[in-house]
Structure 1
């Protein structure tokens, strides 16, 4: 059983949430064991957030590009707010996981109503039944648009569109090498006939082949749900999804023996995701010291995590717009993954350009004038002295620096770097003369926070 201490709590929260605050750590450590915390907080069911606006129920209107673009922005802002106020609950992190697994994007899904409907599905099924979620996503309006299922007809002389059938197997359920081209063609016939009508999907019997299909060695007059059931009867399917969960939350190189153990839990629980998450997140494997601090934060984790670390709980539209623009520049625009494979992550997040942007974003959040990158304005202000005084020993320079490091970083740093950070804050004075009341303390604390957030270690979780 993993030891439930500060180091392990930081590791768990950094992987399962979009960063954490000191309050989040206190909540986590108020539980006696990691098992209790995961069950009662991290994976606890809670009410769904109120929708972003009434437009989610409006029938989509063609050629409404400006309005739809504004709504997509507002939708993303709303999602940021959900992340910022998630507390110690993992649901929003799972929403992003499913968004990056069953990929759809606004580049083809023109109407934000459809993408909201899909995200609502992910939120309700965050740790629900994977087999049912796969059936639901197969006839989801956004997915029907994104992978062309809405134009697929299998009846008469029509050749069905194979895009969704292929990605269903290759990327969503079973993986390359576990199906044939014939399986794709037969699955496409079974999946055909679904159309998007306003906000919803509807079945057009005349566009579906009402005849036997042979798929993965089985023959019958299959529909979409039958195809999913046949795929989920294969042993490769639970291992495929568990491998993806492992790589996202544990380590980017999968331990196949542990993946098989996860798959056993998934099958034993009839493809309910929650028991697998409980098993994974409370295991010695998850808390392996080798894995801690091995994941490169995605731009959303980094930006929302900064706000949480600085105890910023609410932000306005101007600030959300700034986060939106800067995370997009760092190569993560939510609701628009780069392609059907989604964001690959890890080293793909870091380039000579994006690393500079990450550091610039961290510095700009602390700018006292509210002037961000390229002169973009934002409204939030961090008061460094007030923030420092929320720590236990703000008047003890060495202890203050150590406490700030301990909050912001998930990996230890060298004594040389610690001294550099202390010297950065002291700015020529000596530790015995340090006080948050002295002139210039505001700037010195700001310099400390900026220096920490520019460290390579800050990019890791």
Structure 2
């Protein structure tokens, strides 16, 4: 993950059965080792300060080392995968491990952290909390003029920015699309959030379906009148929803909300593969807006809206799910019953609140559910059907995008299809009987959702996955427990509603935990994460203020899933683009560490991303990343061109906005020696300098990895 620390003092201790031989290391006191009751105790040095990183590692062969303890200014803690106990109080702490036959070697390291200046710390934070920093976000960030102290716990300036972001109006994808599509749409937002009317000032910019079968394309006359080529605004229907997503992710002011929604959508996955009507936009945008609207709301609301969403019902095949019919030998579909537990809430193994496995008396993991539970739960999700197109009492058919059925409004219940038999829950209790009515069946579903929501696994299960999406791939037990506690209690650092599932405090806990903020952890080789390819591409689009004058300002990226294996609404399965527990072959797997994003990192996609960024820099949204052979969106490099005559100034700026001040001396020198000899007398010369620098930086580990 992060670069290997250099020039660290070390201590080495050897344990061979009952023989303990401590060896002194340079610059540190020798380790004290004692044995009591078959346990080996290794005295830890006193905890240091946040500008110092200390670690303890073990090995069986003096070659392969794994961490068993670390301190970065907040006391010694253990870390996955080797959860050695840390015992003691105050400065008198020790690692404890059962005495084993054979050899164990221990070594300790201590090294000062180089730290980050204020602007670099802000840029690094924005890499985690948005789809990428921009100059405006950095320049306007709270405390940006503070010469030091922005990284001081409890990180008040970062929390101030989070609070400001959470207070911004919601940028709804559905609203954006409706304002620019069917001129007949009228405002129904009082009954359905963001079911707004068409905005005549926009004209018809995005395609839509009318009367079930007829697709209406953007108004080419409006395009021509505005000086655009009619062909430039001719998007496919399937492209429409992606264009809306790219536009909002790249330009919306509520950057944190959009980044949080993307993280949540990778837990509650709904993709084109397995869905019907993939070229209808509104049904997908309505689904995605669940996460946009509730990003800082409550997890239980997300769970409920996802369950009753007809697109999810179609995707996981419980739409029109019927109770058992013994006469014909049919049974309720079990797909959603399985995935709502395995992927959306509790996972397959019982967890402690720090994310570690609970184990039985034999040391084996304890399953959260079995096949009998799936059969029981499947009975609950029966009787759900699409709303009628007319939506009596809600609105008229013409006010939503209908393409062979209403996949926009929440599903209705047909009680004659619902199984009202008693159901045994995961804890062995039984759901109380419900009236055999539509309302009773819906109440039963909600009662089970409450049961799942209150399961003790949900906090640590969701905590780990959201942490992985934003900050680090291998969060420590302390980190997971802090975020799980925020989920469970609904508070963090004095803020929050006090309600279980408060996602506002969950995201605060993720972004404000010391494990996400302290620069000293860059010296931990298990810290950090590979950034998602889509996020890396959008980082360039955001920081260099991409514009597209010939396409109504829209950003028609095209078929990125074929280039970088990632695009909105294009997850290949309900298991997301990559799995949380993916371990790439090599040193990470050897150390039992995880890196989800490496699952889609191949020779093909690695080259694809490099080519995608290079194309964006040199040609704009064209060719491999666009639907045309010419650009439909260009980066604005005028600011960078104004700096490019001075190579050092240019590199300093790009280091800030692209690599958060983490460029190594070696890579900085390579960039300088490559760029500096190039001509810089004309604007064209300086633009060439900038484009080459941007293309090269996209290949560096400091850009591709957060640490």
* TM value normalised by structure 2: 0.59
Question: Are the aligned partners of 2:641 and 2:690 in contact in 1 as well (CA < 8 Å)?
Answer: no
Deviations 1:219-271 (A, max 9, x none): 12362111111122221121111111122222111322321222222121221
Question: Are the aligned partners of 1:250 and 1:291 in contact in 2 as well (CA < 8 Å)?
Answer: no
1:353 and 2:563 correspond: no
Correspondence 1:86-235 to 2 at 5 A: 86-87=252-253, 89-111=255-277, 112=280, 113-154=282-323, 156-157=325-326, 158-176=330-348, 177-197=367-387, 198=406, 199-200=408-409, 201-216=411-426, 217-220=428-431, 221=433, 223-235=444-456
Partner of 2:640: 388
Q: For 2:245, which of 59, 79, 89 is the aligned residue?
A: 79
Greater percentage in strand:
2
5+ residue gaps in structure 1? 430-434
Q: For 1:258, which of 470, 479, 491 is the aligned residue?
A: 479
- How has the CA–CA distance of structure 1 residues 291 and 87 changed in structure 2, closer, same or farther, with 3 Å as cutoff? farther
Partner of 2:75: none
The whole-number CA distance in structure 2 between the counterparts of 1:266 and 1:359 is: 38
SS of 1:15 mapped into structure 2 = helix
SS of 2:248 mapped into structure 1 = helix
1:51 and 2:176 correspond: yes
- How has the CA–CA distance of structure 1 residues 424 and 371 changed in structure 2, closer, same or farther, with 3 Å as cutoff? farther
RMSD, aligned CA: 3.1
The whole-number CA distance in structure 2 between the counterparts of 1:325 and 1:368 is: 17
1:363 and 2:614 correspond: yes
1:12 and 2:125 correspond: yes
Correspondence 1:281-360 to 2 at 5 A: 281-289=511-519, 290=521, 294-312=528-546, 317=551, 323-344=557-578, 345-360=596-611
Deviations 1:97-128 (A, max 9, x none): 22211111223332333212211222111121
How much has 1:144 moved relative to structure 2? 0.5
The whole-number CA distance in structure 2 between the counterparts of 1:361 and 1:146 is: 30
- How has the CA–CA distance of structure 1 residues 235 and 311 changed in structure 2, closer, same or farther, with 3 Å as cutoff? same
Question: Are the aligned partners of 1:35 and 1:282 in contact in 2 as well (CA < 8 Å)?
Answer: yes
The whole-number CA distance in structure 1 between the counterparts of 2:532 and 2:452 is: 31
Question: Are the aligned partners of 1:154 and 1:207 in contact in 2 as well (CA < 8 Å)?
Answer: yes
The whole-number CA distance in structure 2 between the counterparts of 1:140 and 1:339 is: 18
How much has 1:286 moved relative to structure 2? 1.3
How much has 1:156 moved relative to structure 2? 4.5
* TM value normalised by structure 1: 0.88
Question: Are the aligned partners of 2:209 and 2:216 in contact in 1 as well (CA < 8 Å)?
Answer: no
SS of 1:323 mapped into structure 2 = coil
Correspondence 1:394-413 to 2 at 5 A: 394-410=644-660, 412-413=662-663
Correspondence 1:22-61 to 2 at 5 A: 22-30=135-143, 33-41=157-165, 43-49=166-172, 50-53=175-178, 54=181
The whole-number CA distance in structure 1 between the counterparts of 2:296 and 2:128 is: 16
5+ residue gaps in structure 2? 1-48, 51-115, 145-155, 186-194, 196-207, 218-234, 349-366, 388-405, 435-443, 491-499, 579-595
Question: Are the aligned partners of 2:621 and 2:632 in contact in 1 as well (CA < 8 Å)?
Answer: yes
Q: Larger RCO: Structure 1 or Structure 2 (Cα < 8 Å, ≥ 6 residues apart)?
A: 1
Partner of 1:432: none
